[in-house]
């Protein structure tokens, strides 16, 4: 045990410091953005045309009840103080009660969130499985008719209103062809049979050993996830194409070809290998977009997730739930942004 | 002497403007070769003509109900069939094109000046103004725009105007960022320095020189976001937070058509196709624009 | 390369799983129901005011007496095995033995008394049903008693036809809750309200397992139910706001009952042998209401035009479908004492003429509030269309129940398309909301009265309605009923019945014991399912 650290230790220390430095910049801006998010959402709750106090006390209440509730809700305090109270409550997970369910909003969100994550994750897998090969193919065939056809096919997914695709998909694949399950996460008679452990029905059904319920869940997942995933194909494919073009014009590609490597080897083993990091960041960004997409698709498929919770809250103007859902989705967005930035700083040789 | 400087600055400004024009021209030359981009442009052109001529070419009054002829399938009399209240779907789609374009134009008209103002102020004045404004832009860029738009419509109340406001609220930041970048290049040019030396006010420099030079790239950027504006507006309409009945709006039409979709596919299918085609056209234009801006990737 | 293999593996896994047939009928011991739950806000019987809540509550709780499932105007024993009506209107109920709550506690007269008093103490929506027949929190203390564990005595609060009191007790307000259990879950002075919103403490055939708002209600059977163990092990009710998705699912056999289908969807399924349609008369009406506090509609001459601007036939056939039957008097045509339709017909020319005489030759602009549900929107849009032909521009403003009826209760509206609920299966129950307005001032307690909501001051009609309520003699009562309906139509009412509301449901053919039910809330206890 010498007092002088070994060269590896020094190197590792340096590496850690670099990591920290790489993370610090984005972290600060994300923190600022988070505060901004809180401000925006706070004001969202204040421009409401409905008087929030009145919504609680009801129109039969007299002036003294009204004032008492207004005091309890902190509406008599200066706006900055109200904001600070909001931030304090939000950070401790206190978003008040949802008008619709009567539960704490936070409890509601925790219970619906896994369904959304399950949907968005399946969708990003489908988006990547479709988008990356298509993007690579388009890059390799740049300018040829295939490039244009692929572009239109991918852009279609990005241009079609997903709620409309969902409706058509239900009629074609569920009602007519009977290939997939209908709306909802499970067949109704399978609801609430598997005990809730993780909240993810795919995992919970396997834990409980209910293979049939697992299959039922996959059957219901495949269509909404497919439509969402198709929607993200355009973005993923376009970025893949663009990254690949960068690589394919570089010298080593020509060199490798000269060396006698097959075209396929060059494309997948060399060029594609080099863009993996970039693609990861693209996927992270696309994932954020998918979380947004769930808002519309969940309402079509009666998917019991955050998106449906959010739209239901919207429709009855339940601002507690609206604000909390926005905050949750916004925070995940920010988190993904942060992740992307750090990825870039650490893994991309050019920014290092 | 002073006079000469001013003249010189004037000439340089004219020169910069003509360079801008030639940049646009070369840009157009690249764009023109892009087949799918041109296809999109043609489709949007047709759409605009159809929307403008809607009162003339629409075969029926889009609001005229006829409870005797509800949900008729497409036929020679009603090319796209009728809806659940006997209104002609084709006519409603044509009028819906007006709503959609109106939303797109209103959002653009709202967003471009706001984005320009903030971006130019940040770029032109620099320092803490720049830092503060760009922070705000970054915050908005990092947020989920559809969710924010929905939240704001919920707070403001449903309706076309509020939908436009909510979408605009989330669509200005990319414009501001671009305007700032453009301003930074323009600001450092000689003729701006000359104009400033002559004593032209910041206000005058901005309105007379910076804004016109920023416009082309801003227009391009606004076009890029149109597809997503259309989809967001349709999504709001679908959720019942956009245009209210009986006004003809594609998203709202799908939302009502959904109620009869199994037996009467045309009521929801046609507006959906309309949204798809329009948004695809804008996306194709956008894609081609992006390629034209970065020719290496074409 | 590895990515490709992984990708194809994932694809294969997904595809093989999707290829598994998952389309068997629903299990034989589960009843699966699709329903729009937007209005299901609580499962506390002392608080629930919506049909959707009543449906569920009807199966979680028991009442002293019940409306017969098949002939709802007939009262049958529930928790009370018999009851007695004294000459002065005093009601004496004798409880059956053997009835137990889910907790295992026996049902006693103390529970009955506590439950009714709880309704009045909480003083939420259902309390108004009791107030309508003269009871208040205070007088109930004296008028309601339990002389022994098996006997409940209820004295009348006013001169009233006892039938009306019995009908009231057979409704949700009469649900008997397990007082010991609820008291155990009391928070402060809330009488268990917070707990009962999401839990059940009844003696009914089913027990609440889970309720998530706008998602699902799941009931398990009560194996110790006094009528016997229900055939259905579970009842799963799923929130399905879209009629078309309910239809898809019932056609595929994924649900057994679809409760909120649109008129066209019902019509489309009429030919489907696997599905039966049940139509339950509700005693309620789809109406167009105008506010007499509105500057324009204050003029009787303007109100008199409106019946000629409603396309009754078109709405009856194309718009409401299975949801209603054309009717121009707010009393179901088959009730004893109901009068015939006055025979209004859409007549634009006549309406224009009348409008001109009323001082509006070019029509006017106004707004129409409407619930954003089927068939309300469709009715409103149809009326909007015919109004427009006479130059009346009505802008439609959609909203949810709270928004629309909230504005109506505030008496701040011009026009509203809404639906009244029949309170008892007789003429009075159907029409009283239209013809009774004791106090036209803003502080009136009669906020459920449509006449009050439209600011329609009608002392004479109100008097007639009150007389009909307390009249014990059937012949005299029938005469009064006729007089009320005719006077209503002849005094330029601000309320126009468009169609009698019926509640249709689609039911899979292998579900038995439900289609023939006519009571407004279903009894799932009687349901059995056959193998397909």
Chain C residues within 8 Å of chain B (Cβ atoms)? 242-244, 247-248, 262, 264-265, 268, 311, 314-315, 318-319, 372, 374, 377-378, 381-382, 384-385, 388, 396-398
Taking the model in full, what pTM does it have? 0.78
| Tokens linked to B14 | 């004219």
Per-residue pLDDT at A184 exceeds 50: yes
Per-residue pLDDT at A3 exceeds 60: no
CA–CA distance, B224 with B281 (Å, rounded to integer): 11
Given a contact cutoff of 8 angstroms between Cβ atoms, the answer to whether C200 and C60 are in contact is yes
Per-residue pLDDT at C518 exceeds 80: yes
Given a contact cutoff of 8 angstroms between Cβ atoms, the answer to whether C382 and C313 are in contact is no
- Tell me which chain C residues have a C-beta less than 8 angstroms from the C-beta of A304: 212, 215-216
Q: Given the DSSP bridges, would you call strands C495-508 and C324-326 parallel, antiparallel or unpaired?
A: antiparallel
CA–CA distance, C387 with C364 (Å, rounded to integer): 10
pLDDT on residue C19: 43
Per-residue pLDDT at C435 exceeds 50: yes
| Tokens linked to A79 | 């706006």
CB contact under 8 A, B68 and C314: yes
Per-residue pLDDT at A64 exceeds 90: no
pLDDT on residue B4: 45
| A148: closest CA of chain C, how far (Å) | 24
- Best of C369, C374, C377 to disrupt the B interface (most B CBs within 10 Å) is C377
Q: Does residue C272 form part of some domain?
A: no
CB contact under 8 A, B67 and C397: no
**Torsion angles phi and psi, residue B219, rounded to 5:** -60, -45
CB contact under 8 A, A161 and B261: no
Top pLDDT among B146 and C526 is at C526
Give the domain ranges of chain A: 108-309
CA–CA distance, C386 with B177 (Å, rounded to integer): 52
Domain around C286: 280-503
Residue A44 — very low, low, confident or very high, per pLDDT cuts 50/70/90?
A: confident
pLDDT on residue C21: 44
CA–CA distance, C433 with C443 (Å, rounded to integer): 17
Range with the lowest mean pLDDT among B32-41, B143-152, C73-82, C126-135? Answer: B143-152
Residue A63 — very low, low, confident or very high, per pLDDT cuts 50/70/90?
A: low
pLDDT on residue B6: 46
Given a contact cutoff of 8 angstroms between Cβ atoms, the answer to whether A327 and A16 are in contact is no
Q: Does residue C165 form part of some domain?
A: yes
Q: How many CB pairs under 8 A join B and C?
A: 55
User: Within this chain, do residues C420 and C518 fall inside the same structural domain, yes or no?
Assistant: no
Three-class SS of A229-284: HHHHHHHHHHHHHHHHHHHHCCHHHHHHHHHCCCHHHHHHHHHHHHCHHHHHHHHH
Place of tokens 């003249």: B7
User: Within this chain, do residues C364 and C477 fall inside the same structural domain, yes or no?
Assistant: yes
Given a contact cutoff of 8 angstroms between Cβ atoms, the answer to whether C44 and C197 are in contact is yes
pLDDT on residue B295: 57
In the CATH hierarchy, which fold is given to the domain comprising B36-297?
MetI-like fold (1.10.3720)
Per-residue pLDDT at C191 exceeds 70: yes
Q: Give CA separation, C302 vs B229, C351, C361, C386, in Å.
A: 45, 10, 11, 15
Q: Does residue C273 form part of some domain?
A: no
Sheet of C91-95, strand order: C80-85, C91-95, C151-154, C144-148
CA–CA distance, A81 with A42 (Å, rounded to integer): 12
User: Within this chain, do residues C341 and C221 fall inside the same structural domain, yes or no?
Assistant: no
Average pLDDT over residues A202-224: 92
Q: What are C260-263's contacts with CB under 8 Å, separation 24+?
A: C260/C34, C260/C35, C260/C36, C261/C322, C261/C504, C261/C505, C261/C506, C262/B259, C262/B260, C262/C321, C262/C374, C262/C375, C263/C319, C263/C320, C263/C321, C263/C322, C263/C323, C263/C374, C263/C375, C263/C378
CB contact under 8 A, A102 and C198: yes
Q: Does residue C11 form part of some domain?
A: no
| Tokens linked to A94 | 């206190």
Per-residue pLDDT at C305 exceeds 50: yes
* H/E segment holding residue C478: helix C474-490
Please enumerate in sequence order all residues whose Cβ is within 8 A of that of C229, keeping only pairs 6 or more positions apart, or say none. C221, C223
Of B64, B68, B261, the CB nearest to C244: B261
- The residue of chain A nearest to residue C195, with distances taken between CA atoms, is A102
Per-residue pLDDT at C16 exceeds 60: no
CA–CA distance, A159 with A234 (Å, rounded to integer): 9
Q: Does residue C521 form part of some domain?
A: yes
Q: Which residues of C304-318 are buried (b: 16+ CB within 10 A; e: fewer)?
A: bbbbbbbbbebbbeb
pLDDT on residue B8: 55
Q: Does residue C5 form part of some domain?
A: no
First and final C-alpha spacing in chain B: 49
Counting the structural domains of chain C, the total is 2
- Best of B160, B245, B254 to disrupt the C interface (most C CBs within 10 Å) is B245
Of B142, B155, B296, the CB nearest to A334: B142
The four Cα atoms B231, B236, B240, B241 give a dihedral, to 10 degrees, of -160
CA–CA distance, C68 with C85 (Å, rounded to integer): 19
User: Residue C474's Cα: distance from chain center in Å?
Assistant: 27
- The residue of chain B nearest to residue A308, with distances taken between CA atoms, is B239
Average pLDDT over residues C401-419: 88
Given a contact cutoff of 8 angstroms between Cβ atoms, the answer to whether C352 and C399 are in contact is no
Residue A2 — very low, low, confident or very high, per pLDDT cuts 50/70/90?
A: very low
User: Within this chain, do residues C49 and C182 fall inside the same structural domain, yes or no?
Assistant: yes
Top pLDDT among B296 and C370 is at C370
| Tokens linked to C135 | 């009871």
Q: Does residue C314 form part of some domain?
A: yes
CA–CA distance, B232 with B249 (Å, rounded to integer): 13
Per-residue pLDDT at A351 exceeds 50: no
Per-residue pLDDT at C495 exceeds 90: yes
CB contact under 8 A, A296 and B234: no
Range with the lowest mean pLDDT among A52-56, A269-273, A330-334? Answer: A52-56
| pLDDT, tens digit, 9 for 90 and up, residues A123-152 | 999 999 999 999 999 999 988 889 888 988
Q: Which of residues 78-137 of A touch B (CB under 8 A)?
A: none
Q: Supply the ipTM of this predicted assembly.
A: 0.85
Q: Which residues of chain B are under the pLDDT cut of 70? A: 1-17, 19-20, 67-68, 294-298
Q: Given the DSSP bridges, would you call strands C30-35 and C234-239 parallel, antiparallel or unpaired?
A: parallel
| Tokens linked to B67 | 């409870």
User: Within this chain, do residues C378 and C350 fall inside the same structural domain, yes or no?
Assistant: yes
Q: What is the residue-averaged pLDDT of chain C?
A: 88
Residue C2 — very low, low, confident or very high, per pLDDT cuts 50/70/90?
A: very low
CB contact under 8 A, C209 and A181: no
Place of tokens 């919207």: A314
| C509: closest CA of chain A, how far (Å) | 18
Range with the lowest mean pLDDT among A20-34, B166-180, C253-267, C346-360? Answer: A20-34
CB contact under 8 A, A163 and B235: yes
CATH number at residue C81: 3.40.190.10
Place of tokens 């009571």: C519
Range with the lowest mean pLDDT among B212-221, C68-77, C508-517? Answer: B212-221
pLDDT on residue C483: 95
Which chains have 3+ CB pairs within 8 A of A?
B, C
Chain B residues within 8 Å of chain C (Cβ atoms)? 63-65, 67-68, 70-71, 84-85, 240, 244-246, 258-264
- Best of C22, C32, C50 to disrupt the A interface (most A CBs within 10 Å) is C22
Q: How many CB pairs under 8 A join A and B?
A: 151
User: Within this chain, do residues C119 and C94 fall inside the same structural domain, yes or no?
Assistant: yes
Of C197, C209, C245, the CB nearest to A302: C245
| C184: closest CA of chain A, how far (Å) | 20
User: Within this chain, do residues C297 and C203 fall inside the same structural domain, yes or no?
Assistant: no
Given a contact cutoff of 8 angstroms between Cβ atoms, the answer to whether B216 and B23 are in contact is yes
User: Within this chain, do residues C486 and C352 fall inside the same structural domain, yes or no?
Assistant: yes
Per-residue pLDDT at A17 exceeds 50: yes
Choosing among 3.30.390.30, 3.40.50.300, 1.10.10.10, 1.10.3720.10, the CATH entry for A108-309 is: 1.10.3720.10
Given a contact cutoff of 8 angstroms between Cβ atoms, the answer to whether C425 and C167 are in contact is yes
């Amino acid at each position: 045990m010498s007092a002088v650290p070994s060269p590896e230790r020094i190197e590792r220390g340096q590496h850690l410091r670099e990591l920290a430095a790489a993370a610090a910049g984005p972290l600060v801006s994300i923190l600022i953005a988070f505060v901004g998010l809180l401000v925006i959402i706070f004001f969202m709750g204040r421009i409401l045309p409905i008087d929030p106090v009145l919504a609680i006390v009801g129109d039969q209440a007299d002036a003294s009840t009204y004032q008492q509730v207004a005091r309890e809700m902190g509406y008599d305090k200066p706006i900055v103080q109200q904001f600070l109270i909001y931030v304090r409550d939000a950070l401790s997970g206190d978003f008040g009660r949802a008008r619709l369910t009567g539960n704490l909003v936070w409890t509601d969100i925790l219970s619906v969130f896994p369904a959304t994550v399950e949907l968005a994750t399946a969708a990003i897998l489908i988006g990547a499985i479709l988008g990356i090969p298509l993007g690579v193919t388009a890059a390799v065939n740049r300018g040829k008719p295939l490039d244009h056809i692929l572009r239109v096919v991918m852009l279609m997914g990005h241009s079609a209103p997903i709620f409309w695709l969902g409706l058509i998909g239900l009629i074609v694949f569920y009602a007519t062809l009977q290939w997939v399950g209908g709306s909802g996460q499970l067949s109704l008679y399978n609801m609430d049979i598997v005990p809730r452990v993780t909240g993810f029905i795919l995992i919970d059904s396997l834990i409980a050993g209910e293979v049939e319920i697992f299959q039922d869940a996959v059957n219901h997942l495949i269509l909404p996830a497919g439509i969402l995933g198709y929607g993200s194909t355009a973005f993923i494919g376009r970025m893949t194409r663009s990254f690949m073009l960068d690589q394919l014009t570089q010298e080593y590609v020509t060199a490798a070809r000269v060396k006698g490597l097959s075209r396929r080897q060059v494309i997948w083993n060399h060029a594609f290998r080099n863009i993996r990091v970039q693609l990861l960041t693209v996927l992270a960004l696309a994932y954020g977009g998918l979380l947004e997409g769930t808002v519309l698709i969940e309402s079509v498929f009666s998917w019991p997730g955050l998106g449906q919770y959010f739209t239901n809250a919207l429709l009855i103007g339940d601002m507690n739930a609206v604000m909390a859902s926005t905050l949750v989705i916004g925070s995940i967005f920010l988190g993904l942004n942060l992740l992307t930035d750090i990825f870039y700083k650490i893994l991309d040789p050019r920014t290092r | 002497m002073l006079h000469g400087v001013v003249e010189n600055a004037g000439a340089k400004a004219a020169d910069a403007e003509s360079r801008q024009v030639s940049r646009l021209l070369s840009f157009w030359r690249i764009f023109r070769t892009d087949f799918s981009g041109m296809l999109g442009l043609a489709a949007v052109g047709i759409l605009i003509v159809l929307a403008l001529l809607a009162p003339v070419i629409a075969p029926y009054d889009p609001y005229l109900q006829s409870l005797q002829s509800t949900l008729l399938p497409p036929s020679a009399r009603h090319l796209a069939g009728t809806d659940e209240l006997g209104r002609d779907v084709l006519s409603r789609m044509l009028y819906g094109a007006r709503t959609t374009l109106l939303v797109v134009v209103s959002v653009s008209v709202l967003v471009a000046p706001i984005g320009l103002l903030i971006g130019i102020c940040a770029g032109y004045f620099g320092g803490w103004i720049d830092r503060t404004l760009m922070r705000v832009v970054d915050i908005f860029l990092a947020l989920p725009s559809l969710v924010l738009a929905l939240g704001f419509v919920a707070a403001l109340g449903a309706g076309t105007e509020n939908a436009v406001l909510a979408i605009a609220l989330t669509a200005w930041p990319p414009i501001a960022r671009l305007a700032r970048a453009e301003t930074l290049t323009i600001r450092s040019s000689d003729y701006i320095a000359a104009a400033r030396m002559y004593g032209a006010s910041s206000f005058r420099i901005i309105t007379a020189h910076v804004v016109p030079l920023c416009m082309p790239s801003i227009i391009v950027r606004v076009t890029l976001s149109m597809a997503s504006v259309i989809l967001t507006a349709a999504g709001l309409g679908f959720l019942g937070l956009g245009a209210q009945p009986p006004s003809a709006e594609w998203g709202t039409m799908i939302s009502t058509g959904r109620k009869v979709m199994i037996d009467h596919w045309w009521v929801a299918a046609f507006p959906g196709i309309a949204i798809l085609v329009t948004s695809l056209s804008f996306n194709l234009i956008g894609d081609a624009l992006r390629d034209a801006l970065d020719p290496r990737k074409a | 390369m590895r990515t490709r293999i992984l990708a194809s593996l994932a694809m294969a896994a997904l595809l093989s799983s999707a290829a598994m047939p998952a389309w068997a009928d629903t299990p034989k011991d589960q009843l699966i129901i699709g329903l729009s739950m937007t209005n299901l806000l609580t499962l506390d019987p002392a608080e629930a005011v919506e049909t959707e809540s009543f449906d569920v509550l009807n199966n979680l709780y028991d009442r002293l007496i019940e409306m017969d499932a098949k002939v709802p105007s007939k009262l049958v024993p529930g928790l009370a095995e018999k009851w007695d009506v004294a000459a002065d209107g005093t009601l004496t109920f004798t409880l059956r033995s053997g009835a137990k709550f889910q907790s295992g506690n026996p049902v006693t007269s103390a529970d009955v008394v506590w439950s009714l008093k709880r309704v009045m103490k909480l003083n939420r929506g259902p309390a108004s049903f009791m107030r309508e027949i003269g009871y208040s929190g205070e007088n109930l203390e004296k008028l309601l008693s339990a002389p022994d564990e098996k006997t409940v005595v209820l004295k009348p609060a006013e001169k009233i036809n006892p039938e009306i009191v019995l009908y009231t007790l057979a409704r949700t307000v009469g649900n008997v809750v397990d007082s010991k259990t609820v008291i155990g879950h009391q928070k402060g002075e809330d009488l268990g309200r917070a707990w009962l919103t999401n839990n059940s403490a009844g003696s009914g055939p089913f027990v609440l397992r889970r309720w998530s708002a706008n998602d699902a209600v799941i009931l398990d059977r009560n194996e110790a139910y006094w009528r016997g163990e229900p055939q259905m092990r579970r009842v799963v009710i799923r929130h399905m706001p879209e009629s078309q998705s309910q239809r898809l699912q019932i056609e595929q056999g994924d649900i057994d009952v679809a409760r909120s289908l649109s008129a066209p969807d019902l019509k489309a399924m009429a030919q489907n042998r696997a599905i039966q349609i049940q139509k339950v008369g509700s005693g309620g009406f789809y109406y167009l209401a105008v506010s007499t506090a509105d500057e324009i509609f204050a003029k009787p001459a303007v109100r008199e035009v409106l019946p000629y601007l409603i396309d009754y036939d078109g709405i009856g056939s194309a718009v409401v479908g299975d949801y209603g039957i054309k009717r121009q008097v707010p009393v179901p045509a088959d009730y004893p004492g109901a009068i015939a339709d006055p025979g209004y017909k859409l007549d634009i020319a006549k309406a224009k003429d009348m409008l001109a005489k009323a001082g509006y030759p070019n029509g006017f602009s106004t707004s129409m509030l409407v619930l954003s549900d089927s068939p309300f929107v469709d009715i409103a849009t149809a009326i909007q269309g015919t109004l427009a032909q006479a130059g009346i521009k009505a802008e439609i403003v959609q909203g949810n129940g709270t928004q629309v009826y909230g504005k109506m209760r505030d008496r701040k509206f011009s026009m509203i398309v809404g639906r009244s609920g029949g309170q008892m299966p007789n003429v009075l129950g159907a029409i009283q909301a239209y013809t009774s307005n004791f106090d036209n001032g803003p502080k009136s307690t009669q906020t459920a009265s449509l006449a009050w909501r439209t600011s329609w001051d009608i002392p004479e009609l109100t008097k007639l309605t009150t007389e009909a309520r307390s009249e014990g003699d059937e012949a005299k009562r029938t005469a009064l009923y006729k007089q009320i309906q005719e006077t209503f139509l002849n005094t330029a009412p601000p309320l126009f019945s468009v169609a009698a509301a019926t509640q249709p449901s689609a039911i899979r053919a292998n579900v038995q014991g439900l289609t023939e039910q006519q009571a407004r809330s279903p009894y799932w206890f009687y349901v059995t399912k056959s193998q397909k």
